[in-house]
């Protein structure tokens, strides 16, 4: 089985303090979330965490879009 990086590690590649994109803002904010599940890959576990703890996330649809991008990247 090929190595698959965690969602958090992928998300950190999308950080950009100068960007106004919602995904970049999500990544910027997640970087400062000390309890973010940094090793997690599972959509449901990440979604549950963010629903309870992701007050910095504008909308869960931002997470959904970022996770789709993550899945596309990990498919290679």
pLDDT in tens, 7-62: 999 999 999 999 999 999 999 999 999 999 999 999 999 999 999 999 999 899 99
CB of 67 closer than 8 Å to CB of 12: no
63, 50 Cβ separation under 8 angstroms: yes
pLDDT at 4: 83
| Domains present along the chain, CATH in parentheses | 7-74 (1.10.150.260)
- The CA distances from residue 71 to 3, 5, 12, 30, 52, in Å, are 13, 10, 15, 18, 23
Copy the structure tokens of residue 26: 């999500």
Report the alpha-carbon distance of residue 55 to residue 46 in Å, rounded.
14
Structure tokens at 60: 């869960």
pLDDT category, 1, cuts 50, 70, 90? very low
């Amino acid at each position: 089985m090929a190595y698959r990086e965690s969602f958090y590690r992928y998300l950190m590649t999308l950080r950009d303090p100068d960007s106004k994109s919602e995904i970049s803002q999500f990544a910027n904010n997640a970087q400062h979330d000390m309890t973010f599940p940094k090793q997690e890959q599972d959509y449901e576990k990440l979604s549950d965490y963010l629903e309870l703890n992701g007050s910095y996330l504008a909308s869960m649809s931002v997470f959904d879009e970022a996770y789709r991008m993550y899945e596309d990247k990990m498919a290679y």
